[in-house]
Amino acid sequence: MQGQIVRTEPATELIEGQHTYETVTHKIGSVVLSYRHPRAWYVVTAIAAFFVFVLITSIAWLLLRGVGIWGINQPVGWGFAIINFVWWIGIGHAGTLISAILLLLRQQWRTSINRFAEAMTIFAVMCAGMFPLLHVGRPWVAYWLLPIPNWTGAWPQFRSPLIWDVFAVTTYFTVSLLFWFTGLIPDLATLRDRAKNRLAQVIFGVLAMGWRNSAKHWHRYESAYLLLAGLSTPLVVSVHSIVSLDFAVSLIPGWHTTIFPPYFVAGAIYSGFAMVLTLVIPIRALYKMQDFLTMKHLDWMAKIMLATGLIVFYGYIMEIFTALYSANQYEQYLITNRFFGPYAPFFWALLICNGLIPQVLWSPKVRQNVVLLFIISLIVNVGMWLERFVIVVTSLHRDFLPSSWGMYVPTIWDWGLYLGTIGFFTFMMFLFVRFVPMISIFEMRDLLHQTDRHHAAPATGAAVTPAASTEVTP
Amino acid sequence: MNPVQETYQRFARLSQTALAVGIIALLVSAAGFALAGKTQFFRSYHYAYIVWMCLTLGTFGLTLLHHTVRGSWGLPILRFLEAGAATLPLMLVLFLPVVAGMSELYPWARPEVVQANEHLQHKTGYLNVPFFIVRSAVYFAIWIALATVLRRSSLKQDETGDATLLQQRMNIGAPGLVLFVLTVTFAMIDWVMSLEPLWQSSIYGAWFIVGQGLSAFAFSTTVLLIAARHKPFADVVNPKLTRDLGNLTFAFVILWAYTSFSQFLIMWSANLPEEIVYYVKRNQGGWQYISAALTVLQFFLPFLLLLSSRVKRYAGLLLKVMVFILVMRAVDLFWIIQPAFGLESPRVHWLDITLLAGIGGLWLWWFARHVCAAPLLPRHDPRLQEAWLYEHSASSVA
């Protein structure tokens, strides 16, 4: 017991090792400015590039032949396209939570992961956006989704959450991109100043937008960043709430349930943190960033994953309970079908991946074990994908009339597009690591400054107990 | 007499006054039992009980939350939260009249109603009198056990200064929060949602938990700000703390609106007869004005007020907002509960008021007694030193 007590307060700090401002700048900046990269970087980028070609091929063939090449059919009209859309957009949410909400909550541990997580958000939203665009069948007229008063006089159906999705996702992408770029400007200026190569100097110089490190620049920068954080915060909740409404406003058993908005938001953050861990753990080892991405960061992320995972599980419990309590035969059949129907293995696997296995994160020992954390994060990624599969497919494939029941089997083109987006995402993330400082340099320097001052201050022992506290007793 | 002892005296006086008010109000209500009939009595009792129970569970939930996340915002209000949670045994006793009045309150507890309705017959596996009582007993057992252990540990640390107790509470707090969410969800389904047994909503538990959190933040901040006129609370209340408490309340105002609107939007769009009836009832015969008032006064107004940093900086302004939120919570629960009894237009019966005062009097009596029974601030909690530092860093700003 005693040992455990010590353990739950990890002895690690937010910055480890002996660092000065110069070593922080060098350690992070040199990844971008030097040409020497680990061999693994080339191998992964090459494999990811291959899948980018798979993606391009899948899209090209789709545009030539139409959505008939996919496994979607009647009654399952929403197959992989919607499953993967929801999966990807959920993954993005961790980035926004880390960069915006944790900033407003003054959580210092966000500093070394926010840049990374924001990049992840942007690429994940790009992947997500592809799916509904391709699913509409004629992507070249996708602009009809926008309320442009066109020559046909046709307006989108404003009461449909599918239209709210268009607004929500485009706003989300725009704000995330602006937020990310704004946060990058001081670092881009640092790179501009440190680059030896003329081309790099010009490119970083243009991107730094004339940053001169003046007090006025910093003042404006801070207010802009805070405003963008305020704008992003509702987006963490609104985007996935609207995605959940795509399902919940319908009449389909399994979709029409009021817990959906908070449950989807929690699921999004859950999968997002799993993806951050999946990416951070190998990259921190690859570039030896253990001093900045410490065990404390991993511990915090694991805790958030555990908490949001529990909320998701609460969602399952409420769904099942409400269906049984409702005494509605369709709702009850849906639950039976999930547990024992043709897609039952997916449902059970989902319960194990999302509900059972992540419970080991209660143990501080597991949260301190990098390999285990990596494995669990992969399991949660799979679990959250299965969740969307179960929601989409089991509700659609058997509805009210047994005569219209059917099955859904994805085709090779479904898989091609899905694996293609994973390749695209990995490819973009690895390019990001190569060309942009993966950790915010100036925020790390600021953090170093704050933690140094903290150490310099008198130890927070009994000495600071104010006199008033002695008067508290009756 | 030193200023801290005076503060104790004030809480002791509050406890005596509350007890007197409570007993008188309950005696008047007992007369109401004969005058207005037992059906009205039990309905008013149920409403008043749920209002105070929501506050109790809210304070208990925030105690668990505080021990789990260990934010320094919780330290100055910790003793109020603990004292709120300490009323659970009292609330268990006060629950007995609800059990006694079950057949008046719950349609599913009347055999003739169940026999006439096929749907209700399907639900008897869950909605039946013995199982209801067993479930309620289990909820109370879990809550009282957890609240007692945490309170004891916190008081013991005040005496011994043993810092490992902090970690011990954290180890209880996190799983305790999981148990809390599950048990409160089902308690609210049993006690309130099943008043309309043919209607269900899966967000119901979350909706109530958020509302309870809102009540508890508003209540504990109210008590703190009133007590802050004197020592020792005067020493810990500063603009940084009021801003934190204001922001947390703000977050719960938003969460309340979020859960309420989610439930409404999903039911409104689907327009299924078995679900929409809930909102149809609450949007006619005068109830629509309460619905609108809740939207404006329990969301938009506090939202806009708490958005302003001025309101959060000045204790006097913040206090007014918090009291207002507490009043709105009672209106909100009136809107949730009374239409379920078939009240076609919003009418406040005098028993609603006397019972609210009666249960409230006993509640405050118990609450103030528990505040008096311990150091007013968690003395040896190492984080209070954090909070003190916090104050000193802010005093230059103030």
Residue A41: exposure state from Cβ atoms within 10 A (0-12, 13-18, ≥19): middle
Average pLDDT over residues A57-76: 93
Which member of A9, A259, A466 has the closest CB to residue B203? A259
Instruction: Give the chain A residue nearest B391 (alpha carbons).
Output: A466
Residues of B in contact with A326 (CB under 8 A): 200
Residues of B in contact with A472 (CB under 8 A): 4, 232, 375-377, 379
Residue A66: exposure state from Cβ atoms within 10 A (0-12, 13-18, ≥19): exposed
Share of chain A above pLDDT 70, in %: 92
- What ipTM is given for this predicted complex? 0.92
A–B interface: beta-carbon pairs under 8 A: 112
Concatenate the DSSP letters of all residues of A308-333 into one string: HHHHHHHHHHHHHHHHHHHT-HHHHH
Concatenate the DSSP letters of all residues of A62-109 into one string: HHHH-GGGSS--SS--S-HHHHHHHHHHHHHHHHHIIIIIHHHTT-GG
CA separation for the pair A158, A172 (Å, rounded) = 19
Residue A470 in this model has a pLDDT that exceeds 50: no
Residue in this structure with the two tokens 């206090």, named with its chain if needed: B319
Residue in this structure with the two tokens 């700048």, named with its chain if needed: A25
Collapse the DSSP code of B77 into the 3-class scheme (helix H, G, I; strand E, B; otherwise coil) and give the result. Answer: coil
Predicted pLDDT of residue A461: 38
CA separation for the pair A102, A104 (Å, rounded) = 5
Residue A160 in this model has a pLDDT that exceeds 60: yes
Residues of B in contact with A257 (CB under 8 A): 202, 266
Query: Is the Cα torsion angle A126, A132, A135, A138 positive or negative in sign?
Result: negative
Whole-angstrom CA distances from B294 to A144, B56, B141, B286, B332 are 38, 22, 34, 13, 7
Task: Tell me how many helices (H) and strands (E) chain A has.
Answer: 18, 0
Rg, Å, chain A Cα set: 24
B235 and A8 within 8 Å at the Cβ level: the answer is no
Residue pLDDT, tens place only, B13-51: 999 999 999 999 999 999 998 898 899 999 999 999 999
Concatenate the DSSP letters of all residues of B249-274 into one string: HHHHHHHHHHHHHHHHHHHHHH--HH
Extract the tokens encoding B339. 């239409």
Do B320 and B378 meet the contact criterion of CB atoms below 8 Å apart?
A: no
Predicted pLDDT of residue A18: 75
Residues of A in contact with B189 (CB under 8 A): 325
* Residue B328 zone, left/alpha/beta (φ > 0; ψ -120 to 50; rest): alpha
Torsion from C-alpha of A252, A256, A257, A262, nearest 10 degrees:
130
Predicted pLDDT of residue A473: 34
CA separation for the pair A161, B265 (Å, rounded) = 11
Residue B205 Cα, gap to closest chain A Cα (Å): 9
Residue in this structure with the two tokens 């990001």, named with its chain if needed: A432
CA separation for the pair B178, A337 (Å, rounded) = 28
B235 and A466 within 8 Å at the Cβ level: the answer is yes
Predicted pLDDT of residue A442: 85
Residue A314, chain B, CB below 8 Å: the answer is: yes
Predicted pLDDT of residue B383: 64
B235 and A5 within 8 Å at the Cβ level: the answer is no
Residue A37 Cα, gap to closest chain B Cα (Å): 40
CA separation for the pair B26, B3 (Å, rounded) = 34
Whole-angstrom CA distances from B240 to A466, B67, B102, B390 are 18, 20, 47, 8
CA atoms within 13 A on the CB side of B159: 7
Q: What does the domain layout of chain A look like in residue ranges?
A: 2-91+107-146+251-464
Q: Of A257, A472, A473, which to mutate for an interface test with B (greatest number of B Cβ within 10 Å)?
A: A472
Q: What are the respective helix, strand and coil percentages of chain A, to the nearest 5? A: 75, 0, 25
B269 and A249 within 8 Å at the Cβ level: the answer is yes
Helices (H), A69-207: 80-96, 102-104, 114-135, 161-194, 198-207
> CA angle, B188 as apex, B183 and B189 as ends, to 5°?
100
CA separation for the pair A35, A24 (Å, rounded) = 19
Average pLDDT over residues A283-301: 87
Name the residue type at position A353.
C
Instruction: Give the chain A residue nearest B389 (alpha carbons).
Output: A464
Which member of B4, B259, B266 has the closest CB to residue A471? B4
A249 and B265 within 8 Å at the Cβ level: the answer is yes
Residue pLDDT, tens place only, A303-326: 999 999 999 999 999 999 999 999
Residues of A in contact with B5 (CB under 8 A): 474
Do B140 and B88 meet the contact criterion of CB atoms below 8 Å apart?
A: yes
B181 and A9 within 8 Å at the Cβ level: the answer is no
Predicted pLDDT of residue A466: 37
CA separation for the pair A313, B209 (Å, rounded) = 17
Predicted pLDDT of residue A456: 43
Do B56 and B91 meet the contact criterion of CB atoms below 8 Å apart?
A: yes
Name the residue type at position A234.
P
Predicted pLDDT of residue A449: 80
Which member of B266, B376, B388 has the closest CB to residue A249? B266
Average pLDDT over residues A6-16: 51
Residues of B in contact with A327 (CB under 8 A): 119, 122-123
B385 and A310 within 8 Å at the Cβ level: the answer is no
B202 and A319 within 8 Å at the Cβ level: the answer is yes
CA separation for the pair B305, B300 (Å, rounded) = 8
Residue A5 in this model has a pLDDT that exceeds 50: no
Which residues of chain B fall short of a pLDDT of 50?
391-398
Average pLDDT over residues A169-174: 92
Average pLDDT over residues A192-196: 89
Higher pLDDT pick, B396 / A219: A219
B270 and A251 within 8 Å at the Cβ level: the answer is yes
Model confidence at A464, pLDDT cuts 50, 70, 90, reads very low
A446-455 long-range contacts, CB within 8 A, separation 24+: A446/A111, A447/A14, A447/A15, A447/A108, A447/A111, A447/A112, A448/A15, A448/A19, A448/A20, A448/A21, A448/A24, A449/A21, A450/A108, A451/A13, A451/A14, A451/A15
Instruction: Give the chain A residue nearest B122 (alpha carbons).
Output: A327
* Count of residues in chain B: 398
Do A229 and A179 meet the contact criterion of CB atoms below 8 Å apart?
A: yes
> CA angle, A368 as apex, A364 and A374 as ends, to 5°?
115
CA separation for the pair A310, A89 (Å, rounded) = 20
Average pLDDT, chain A: 86
B202 and A258 within 8 Å at the Cβ level: the answer is yes
Examine residue A147 and say whether the peptide bond preceding it is cis (omega within 30 degrees of 0). Answer: no
Closest among A314, A260, A303 to B184, alpha carbons compared = A314
Torsion from C-alpha of A109, A111, A112, A118, nearest 10 degrees:
120
Residue A309, chain B, CB below 8 Å: the answer is: no
Helices (H), B199-314: 204-227, 233-236, 239-270, 273-281, 287-293, 301-307, 309-313
Extract the tokens encoding A108. 């210092």
Model confidence at A339, pLDDT cuts 50, 70, 90, reads very high
Residue pLDDT, tens place only, A365-413: 999 999 999 999 999 999 999 999 999 999 999 989 999 999 999 999 9
